[in-house]
Amino acid sequence: MRRIFLSLGLAQPDEPVVASALAGGVSSGIYRVDLRSGSYCVKQALPRLKVTKEWLVPVERVFGEIGYLRTALRIVPGHVPRVLGEDEASKSFVMEFLGPQFRNWKSELLAGRIDPAVARQVGELLGRIHAATAHDAQLAKQFANDEHFMALRLDPYLVEAARVHPALAGRLLPLVERTANTRRVLVHGDVSPKNILAGPRGPVLLDAECAWFGDPAFDVAFCLNHFLLKAAHLPALAQPLLACFDAMQGAYFAQARWEAQEALAGRVASLLPGLTLARVDGKSPVEYLSEPARQAVRGLAIQLLKQEGLSLEAIAACWAREFKS
């Protein structure tokens, strides 16, 4: 680690470089380094994720994350951290450290501080990135990370849910195939509130190690899913959480002009209950649901998976009925 800071000119030769581990995340080692020149964040990819089930992933994914952050910085400056340098040998990189004025959005939501305006900003931000990268042949080549996306997202989420629920494989596996073969935009792959900081000038996207040129529906469904899960966890706050659901997708679709919105919204809606089921029975279950809430989420996700022609409005209405305070 000392080598990379010296090579970047961020540390002096006589200066100790000491890293302090930061909490959060299951896929990487994340550290804070305080030097005379300032504070920095170092991220190093792990070959095995820190979850109960075995989950092995290629460490080369770190270079996809670096590429995503640099690409997004050109499109939405100030809404992703700046990459300051990388180290191929250790599969790590240095980025700017964002201080306490940046609040973790997951923590805010779970604490009951729910602001649909933030969700609207996230939807607009994601829409701008997708719109600016749509049908870009150069980015499609740079981010042809199909194997990484399968190992990080499709297999541990949807395929694993099909393993747990073989009777639903006929619903879940076609979602995997369709998503894997739809290539439209630069996809973040982990648009989750835990990877979003609410900052003074709007949201900041983190943790883009699942970056892939693929289906924009995945990013949208992945984020919308978290409002549903938190509504199940906090039914007294289901109404403002579902207002976030509406605000985010409304702002996003206002930017989506690269394909027919009806087709895109249909893919988001059909993918959403599969991802919901995956967050209780996949390799990365959410940690905050009680067992009764987990059972309710599972039952509703299965019910929705079996429906044809599902819409986002129907999903939100179903969730509101199930989890109203």
CATH code (residue 278): 3.90.1200.10
Q: Are strands 19-21 and 196-199 parallel, antiparallel or unpaired?
A: unpaired
CB 316 within 8 A of CB 246: yes
In this structure, is residue 295 part of a structural domain? yes
Residue 45 domain boundaries: 2-6+19-96
Strand partners, 85: 94
Question: Are 267 and 150 members of one domain?
Answer: yes
CB 295 within 8 A of CB 280: no
In this structure, is residue 23 part of a structural domain? yes
- Two structure tokens written together for 267: 């893919």
238-253 vs 261-281: helix crossing angle, rounded to 10: 140
Q: Are strands 196-199 and 92-96 parallel, antiparallel or unpaired?
A: unpaired
Q: How far is CA 98 from CA 103, 239, 254, 256, in A?
A: 9, 31, 29, 30
Given 96, 128, 143, which residue is the final one in a domain? 96
Question: Are 260 and 168 members of one domain?
Answer: yes
Question: Are 197 and 48 members of one domain?
Answer: no
- C-alpha Rg value of the chain to the nearest Å: 19
Look up the CATH number of the domain holding residue 54.
3.30.200.20
Question: Are 250 and 191 members of one domain?
Answer: yes
Question: Are 92 and 130 members of one domain?
Answer: no
Q: What is the pLDDT along the chain (325 residues), one digit of tens a residue?
A: 777 888 788 888 888 888 888 776 655 677 898 988 889 888 877 755 554 555 555 667 788 999 999 999 999 999 999 999 888 777 778 899 998 899 999 999 999 999 999 999 999 999 999 999 999 999 999 999 999 899 899 999 999 999 999 999 999 999 999 999 999 999 999 999 999 999 999 999 999 989 999 999 999 999 999 999 999 999 999 999 999 999 999 999 999 999 999 999 999 999 999 999 999 999 989 999 999 999 999 999 999 999 999 999 999 999 999 997 5
Where does residue 182 rank: exposed (0-12), middle (13-18), buried (19+ CB within 10 A)? middle
Question: Are 156 and 32 members of one domain?
Answer: no
Question: Are 54 and 130 members of one domain?
Answer: no
In this prediction, residue 297 carries a pLDDT of 98
In this prediction, residue 89 carries a pLDDT of 75
In this structure, is residue 128 part of a structural domain? yes
In this structure, is residue 81 part of a structural domain? yes
Residue whose C-alpha is closest to residue 226's, from 214, 244, 204: 244
User: In angstroms, rounded to a whole number, what is the distance separating the alpha carbons of residues 64 and 211?
Assistant: 6
Edge-to-edge strand ranges of the sheet holding 196-199:
103-104, 196-199, 202-205
Question: Are 150 and 291 members of one domain?
Answer: yes
In this structure, is residue 313 part of a structural domain? yes
Looking at the 3D structure of the chain, how many domains does it have?
A: 2
pTM comes to 0.92
Looking at residue 276, its amino acid is T
Question: Are 215 and 84 members of one domain?
Answer: no
User: In angstroms, rounded to a whole number, what is the distance separating the alpha carbons of residues 134 and 309?
Assistant: 26
Question: Are 114 and 74 members of one domain?
Answer: no
The structure tokens 């989750």 sit at: 192
Question: Are 30 and 135 members of one domain?
Answer: no
3-class secondary structure, 247:
helix
- Two structure tokens written together for 286: 């959410």
Question: Are 249 and 311 members of one domain?
Answer: yes
In this structure, is residue 50 part of a structural domain? yes
